[in-house]
Structure 1
Amino acid sequence: MLSGDRISGVAGVAADTGFGGDSGSSGGSCASAESTPSSVLEIEDVDLAHAIATIEDQVSMLRRLDTIGASNSDRRALLVRAETLQHALFALSHTWIADLIAQHGLDHIYGSVPDTLAILLRLSRRRASQRIRHAEQYGQRSAITGERLDPILTTTAAAAAAEGTLDEEHQHIITNFFRTLSPDIDPETRHHAEQQLTELARQLGPDNFKVAARRLFDTLDPDGTNEDEQQIAERCYFRIKDQGQHGLSKGTFLIDAETRAYLEAAFATWAKPGMCNPAATTPDSAPSTDSIRHDSGSSSGSTGGSSEVRSTDSSTDSSTDDRARRDRRSQGRRQHDALKTIVRQMLASGDLGSHRGLPVTAVITMTLSDLETATGHAVTATGSLIRMRDAIRMASHAHHYLAIFDDHGRSLHLGRTKRIATADQRIVLIAADRGCTFPDCTRPATWSQVHHIDEWATGGNTDIDTLTYGCDMHHPLIGPDDTDWATTKTGPGHPYPRRTLGHPPTTLDPTRKGHINHYHHPNEYIYPTPEDSTPEHATPPTQPGTPRRGGPDPHPPPT
């Protein structure tokens, strides 16, 4: 049975994954020493336990030594030898990860294998995926009969583990080398190439090694792979990186010829000097279809009509020239402003359909106090921050949904009792949850679906207080059994009222302690509120429906 925060039973932490450290209990950006996986995970194998304990003891000894009195030569030697050890341990971890994957030791814990590895090792998901790719190439494998097989890139793996001279960058370069090398290259040539690359990696730093590897690649595969249309299309992408200072975002893209032709045609008109200039006193626009129809129909009109049209065209040309002369933006800035205008008008047209129950448009949420003072930031459904003055200006361009919350983040209105959440309820959830509420999940609201805390099939209502967001990966993990994940809502007396708690299965945490996902509310990292000090955390109920001290449980836990 679930409480809002804990489940009665064996006290303890997740002995299987290190989940026991509550990612939301402190609200800080760094976990305490007690919550890191290495401090809670035990190793039963005597030899493995002794080996890792020895390393930990020696690291602890180094931590107690002060190098201020050491000579510079000793400090240099210490730094180099310690780095070599790190390289060797990193190389050994490839086999450990490969064995975990092969024996399903990372399945069905946090959704995907990369997600699980990222949380266990405190990595970004991108870095965890990279570690998995390294494990596939450099980790030892097992045959169906149980026989141990060498890594795919045997020479590189041996040099990395035995010598510690190859760091992660070297291995990444070699991995990419063979990933892009033509399959027509025969195995013997590939083997000699790996040997040469390994020797070069021993001698060169990553910057120089990258150049050498590129030259060897061009020598072996000068014509490249004969790719079909589908393979070429798979290489195209458009990526926007995380927001930086002032809300600015960098991005990279690789587009095909068709997309380039569309952009060039649009920029030819919309990115001309004077067009789409946000500094202009009057809004700029591209030539409208009405003006085109007007021009095409003028040829059959009377002489007076033609004279009137020519007069209008002359006035328009003069106005356009004036705007162009006043425009001091660079070409890159004009193209940026043109793209913004094009996308904004597409969203405002209402012709883009719907996404997860809402029209395709910009959904922006803000607190009432921020709106009244025109300060702070608004948050979009995708998790981006927008300065308040920009959000207010955006509201004048298109039909945006606006959900206003009080300073505590609670919805002011909107309750429903239908099975499918309404558009109004989805808007409130966007403002309240901002994304998937599964512990530590980073997926925004636009990647999530509405989840009933109290399942509809067992009598639950579709009310805003019993709805939350779960992404497509984590939503299927929620179920009625002890081996499934479960969700509850915090009560009104909780430091984070009406927030969703994710309870791990008993296989991960026998106590099934609830965790709040603070990722979509980063202010809670900066200004944390202790959660375990509240009555609701102090006394978990032992039976379904048992009230907590400090007030009744508004959502009795299921059995």
Structure 2
Amino acid sequence: EAAIVSEPRIIARLGREIRDRLDPDGAEPKDDTLIQPKRWLDFHETADGVTGTFGLDKETGALLANLLSPLTAPRSSDDGPDLRSRDERYGDAFADILALAARCPDTPTEAGEPVTLLVSATLDQLTTGIGRGLVDGHLSMSAGQIRRMACDAKAAPMVFGTASEVLDVGRTTRTVPRSLRRALIHRDKGCSFPGCDRKAKWSQAHHIVHWSNGGPTTLDNLTLVCQHHHRVVHHSNWKIRMTNGIPWYIPPPHIDPEQQPRRNTLHAFHTWLKADHATAPGPMVLAS
């Protein structure tokens, strides 16, 4: 009767329901441990980066959704509401997840090396942030972006001859060792940019005086910033000043003509109390 007046998809649904009512136990379940979940990833490089598509099984898809969820909320700032589209917010959240995975000590190796990007740039380009370098030998990237990457990474200096032959390769050094990062987490609790609620695991170590400019890798020259605010600090006129062991941010004149110092008070109340007993680097206004 239904087949006379209904679409094929409705008939199929009715057929499944009849089958399930007649045989509620269904077929004998298979051993799920022997079934390889269907997952795939297809991506390729473009002039602007990487693009691609992917598919995940239900379990892995739920894991990805849970990882993305706390990172995709709109993020307002002093410049106004978050103007990123939904896709852009999810793209930024995915980048945060990749950065977190790259910092994991259990990251798999390739040919004995952990996850590594080979960046080629001259010392002058790295110091001034002007010019361009190559990532993995072919992907062009601005020197400013390369300098931001060098904030919390391994660096291996290479000396080249006049014919571009490698004359010497220095030892790689981790600019921010794990013990120092733990001290940063204890002090900053998360991204130290004013008003940001990103937790420490989603934050990177930033050299206040750039490492490429000779800034020391010490607690009073480091602070935690999330990936978004790491770009803001490197590519805008925001400045950071350390006072009594607390990072204060000096906004650019177009945000605050008086450039009153600001700090993050969201992560830990005892950090706030400690700061209020210290001498602030100038007049400030705290918003509730």
Which one has a bigger Cα radius of gyration? 1
Higher helix share: 1
Same fold (TM over 0.5): no
TM (norm. structure 2) is: 0.40
TM (norm. structure 1) is: 0.22
